[in-house]
Amino acid sequence: MIQMRRPSDRVDCLKSGASIVDTPEKWNKVAFYKLFLYLGVCYVLTLNMPDIVWDPELMQVTLVLGTIGIWRFSWWFVHLIRAEIYGHIRYPLMRSRADDAWNKGWRPTHMHFLITTFHERRETTELVLKSILHEARDTKLATTIWLGSGDNFDEEIMSRYIKQYGQDLAVKLNIVRQNVPGKRMAIGMILRAMCRHGIGKDDLVCFMDGDAILDRGVIQKCTSIFAHNKKVQAVTTNEEVMCYGPRWVGTWLSMRFAQRRIAMQSHSLSSKVLTLTGRMSVFRAPHLTKLEFIRKLEADHLEHWLWGDFRFLSGDDKSSWYYMLLQDAHMLYIPDAMVYTVEEIEGWGLARMTQNFWRWSGNMLRNGSRALSLGPRKVGFFIWWCILDQRVAMWTMLISPILAISASVVIEPAFIVGYFTWIMCSRMLLSLFLYRYCDQVHISFPIILYANQVINAVVKIYCLFRLSKQRWSHRGNQSAGLEHNLDLGVRTWIAFWLTIIWVSSIMLFSLLYSGIFHIPSYLHFMAYFMV
| In a domain? residue 154 | yes
Tell me what pLDDT residue 76 has: 93
pLDDT tens, 32-61? 899 999 999 999 988 887 777 667 777 888
Tell me what pLDDT residue 407 has: 86
| 3-state SS assignment for residue 205 | strand
443, burial (CB in 10 Å: exposed 0-12, middle 13-18, buried 19+):
middle
Q: Does the pLDDT of residue 391 top 60, yes or no?
A: yes
CB proximity list for 492: less than 8 A, separation 6 or greater: 466
Determine the average pLDDT of the residues in 387-412. 89
pLDDT tens, 84-111? 999 999 999 999 999 999 999 999 999 9
Q: Output the average pLDDT for the chain.
A: 87
Determine the average pLDDT of the residues in 203-225. 95
Confidence of residue 212 (pLDDT cuts 50, 70, 90): very high
Rounded Cα distance, 415 and 421, in Å: 10
Q: Which of 90-104, 174-188, 340-354, 403-417 has the highest mean pLDDT?
A: 90-104
pLDDT tens, 254-263? 999 999 999 9
Three-state SS string over 425-461 comes to HHHHHHHHHHHHCCCCCCCCHHHHHHHHHHHHHHHHH
Q: Does the pLDDT of residue 525 top 80, yes or no?
A: no
| In a domain? residue 526 | no
Tell me what pLDDT residue 2 has: 39
Tell me what pLDDT residue 477 has: 46
Tell me what pLDDT residue 111 has: 96
CB proximity list for 154: less than 8 A, separation 6 or greater: 117, 118, 119, 120, 125, 147, 210
Pairing of strands 204-209, 280-284: antiparallel
Q: Which position has the higher pLDDT, 414 or 432? A: 432
Q: How far, rounded to the nearest angstrom, does the alpha carbon of residue 177 sit from its chain's CA centroid?
A: 29
Rounded Cα distance, 139 and 217, in Å: 8
| In a domain? residue 520 | no
Q: Report the candidate in 224, 221, 261 with the shortest Cα–Cα distance to residue 241.
A: 261
Determine the average pLDDT of the residues in 461-489. 71
238 - beta bridge partners?
338
Write phi, then psi, for 212 (nearest 5 degrees). -95, 120
User: What is the separation, in whole angstroms, between the first and last Cα of the chain?
Assistant: 64
Q: Report the candidate in 351, 352, 355, 357 with the shortest Cα–Cα distance to residue 453.
A: 357
CA atoms within 13 A on the CB side of 50: 15
Confidence of residue 12 (pLDDT cuts 50, 70, 90): very low
Tell me what pLDDT residue 474 has: 52
Tell me what pLDDT residue 516 has: 82
Q: What percent of the chain has pLDDT over 90?
A: 57
Q: Does the pLDDT of residue 8 top 60, yes or no?
A: no
Q: What percent of the chain has pLDDT over 70?
A: 90
Q: Does the pLDDT of residue 144 top 70, yes or no?
A: yes
Q: Distance of CA 112 to CAs 173, 283, 318, Å?
A: 10, 10, 21
Residue 224 contacts residue 101 (beta carbons within 8 Å): yes
Q: Report the candidate in 359, 381, 364, 257 with the shortest Cα–Cα distance to residue 318.
A: 364
| 3-state SS assignment for residue 114 | strand
Q: Report the candidate in 96, 200, 190, 198 with the shortest Cα–Cα distance to residue 148.
A: 190
Our count of domains for the chain comes to 1
Residue 117 contacts residue 252 (beta carbons within 8 Å): no
Rounded Cα distance, 235 and 333, in Å: 6
Q: Does the pLDDT of residue 437 top 60, yes or no?
A: yes
Query: Which of 23-32, 129-138, 428-437 has the least mean pLDDT?
Result: 23-32
CA angle 151, 300, 241 (to 5 degrees): 60
Q: Does the pLDDT of residue 271 top 60, yes or no?
A: yes
Tell me what pLDDT residue 356 has: 86
Confidence of residue 14 (pLDDT cuts 50, 70, 90): very low
Q: Report the candidate in 355, 205, 207, 356 with the shortest Cα–Cα distance to residue 277.
A: 207
CA atoms within 13 A on the CB side of 508: 7
Q: Please list, residue by residue across 275-299, b when 16 or more beta carbons sit within 10 angstroms of its beta carbon and e when fewer do.
A: bbbbbbbbbbbebbbeeebbebbbe
Residue 121 contacts residue 87 (beta carbons within 8 Å): no
Residue 100 is part of which domain span? 3-513
Q: Report the candidate in 155, 76, 147 with the shortest Cα–Cα distance to residue 115.
A: 147
Rounded Cα distance, 61 and 413, in Å: 14
Tell me what pLDDT residue 11 has: 37
Tell me what pLDDT residue 371 has: 94
| In a domain? residue 518 | no
Residue 452 contacts residue 251 (beta carbons within 8 Å): no
Tell me what pLDDT residue 1 has: 39
| In a domain? residue 246 | yes
Q: Please list, residue by residue across 383-399, b when 16 or more beta carbons sit within 10 angstroms of its beta carbon and e when fewer do.
A: bbebbeebeebbbbbbb
CA angle 204, 210, 211 (to 5 degrees): 115
Residue 141 contacts residue 110 (beta carbons within 8 Å): yes
| 3-state SS assignment for residue 238 | strand
Tell me what pLDDT residue 77 has: 95
Helix (H) or strand (E) holding 144: strand 143-149
The CATH number that applies at residue 190 is: 3.90.550.10
Q: Does the pLDDT of residue 326 top 80, yes or no?
A: yes
Tell me what pLDDT residue 47 has: 86
DSSP per residue, 331-386? EEEEEEEEEEEEEE--TTSHHHHHHHHHHHHHHHHHHHHHHHHH-HHHH-HHHHHH
Q: Does the pLDDT of residue 22 top 80, yes or no?
A: no
DSSP per residue, 162-179? HHHH-TTS-EEEEEEE-S
* Counts of helices then strands in the chain (DSSP H, E): 19, 14
Q: Is the dihedral of CA 286, 288, 292, 293 positive or negative?
A: positive
pLDDT tens, 149-198? 888 888 999 999 999 998 888 899 999 988 777 889 999 999 999 999 88
Q: Which position has the higher pLDDT, 9 or 201? A: 201
Q: How far, rounded to the nearest angstrom, does the alpha carbon of residue 452 sit from its chain's CA centroid?
A: 13
Q: Which position has the higher pLDDT, 522 or 222? A: 222
Write phi, then psi, for 203 (nearest 5 degrees). -75, 160
